[in-house]
Amino acid sequence: MANKTRIGILLSGRGSNFVAIANNIDAEVIPNAEISVVISNKPNTQGIQTAQERGLQTAVVISRGRPRSDQEREVVAILKAFGVKLVCLAGYMRLLSPWFVQQFPNRILNIHPALLPAFPGNHAHRDTLAHGVKISGCTVHLVDEECDHGPIIVQRSVPVHDSDTEQILSERILQEEHLAYTEAINIVLDGTFKLAPRHLAKG
Ligand code: GRF
């Protein structure tokens, strides 16, 4: 396991993106990384249960009812204790403070179920359907101090059909999310890019 980049996964629920990443690490589609710890800010999540079944280290650091700074300090302390060098937000329903972002400069990834900069925020599928766009998809980006905003690493597109519901559209996009996150991790770990203000340029 020497020389593998240690990944910390943050999630709040189902964890299907986490599972896709874990499967691709096991299959060496992501050859240069390992998952060191999976952290949830909510209790009793499917994601944490799955991580435990896979024999991974887990932690639950509840966010509800606590000052943001306390919860974040605890999460960052755990990530650093595990030697995490790349943080992957995988359905982590919590905006990170600038302090948190600065703990891992250009080393925090997020996945969003729309083609950013269109439809940021918590209602991407609803907003996509409400605007009647014909193409949507997902975006993996570096996390900066603004919500769903940092440099774009990978996007994958899907058609939007007139008959789509939020559920149907989200399932179609999710299939692409599971591919996009792996592509993005490999690009970041490969390191042959230059950071442009809003995207990664070929190095
Ligand atoms: C995904 O749609 C992701 O884009 C969004 O939250 C959802 C998480 O799904 N940020 P899962 O927990 O990975 O299954």
Q: What is the largest CA-CA distance in the chain?
A: 50
**Catalytic status, residue 112:** yes
- Closest atom of ligand 1 to CA, residue 112: 4
CA neighbor of 7 nearest in space, from 188, 163, 177: 188
Residue 201's pLDDT is: 83
Cα–Cα distance measured from residue 92 to residue 31, given in angstroms and rounded to the nearest whole number:
24
Pocket of ligand 1 (CB under 6 A): 11, 13-17, 90-91, 111-113, 174, 177
Residue located via tokens 């059909």:
161
Closest residue by CA, ligand 1 atom 5: 91
pLDDT digits (tens, 9 = 90+) for 8-65: 999 999 999 999 999 999 999 999 999 999 999 999 999 999 999 999 999 999 999 9
- Closest atom of ligand 1 to CA, residue 177: 4
**What token pair was written down for 1?**
């396991």
Task: Report the percentage of the chain scoring pLDDT > 70.
Answer: 99
